[in-house]
Amino acid sequence: MADLNNTILENAQGPAKVTGDSGSVEQHKLTEQIAADKYLASKTAASQRGTLGIRLTKLSPPGTM
């Protein structure tokens, strides 16, 4: 996970598109990189032992026994 954070940081500091004699290179948009990071973080959190990724709660309306 830290490796992806470093990659996003490096890509944010560098240029989005580079053109040279041998061709051009374009990176993924920063919003797409952030979305990928959020997806991987949620996937990691859901796979951790003891957490379900969702919370189950029993609701009971007031005034009922």
Dump pLDDT digits (tens) for 36-52: 788 877 877 777 766 55
Query: Tell me, what's the pLDDT at 2?
Result: 63
CA angle 21, 24, 26 (to 5 degrees): 155
Q: Which long-range contacts (CB under 8 A, 24 or more apart) does 28-37 make?
A: 33/7, 33/8, 34/8, 36/4, 37/4, 37/5, 37/8
pLDDT for 44 equals 77
The contacts of residue 15 (CB under 8 Å, 6+ apart) are none
| Interval 3-38: pLDDT, tens | 777 777 777 777 778 898 888 888 777 788 788 788
CA-to-CA dists, residue 60 to 9, 55, 56, angstroms? 46, 16, 13
Higher pLDDT, 6 or 65: 6
Q: Is the pLDDT of residue 57 over 70?
A: yes
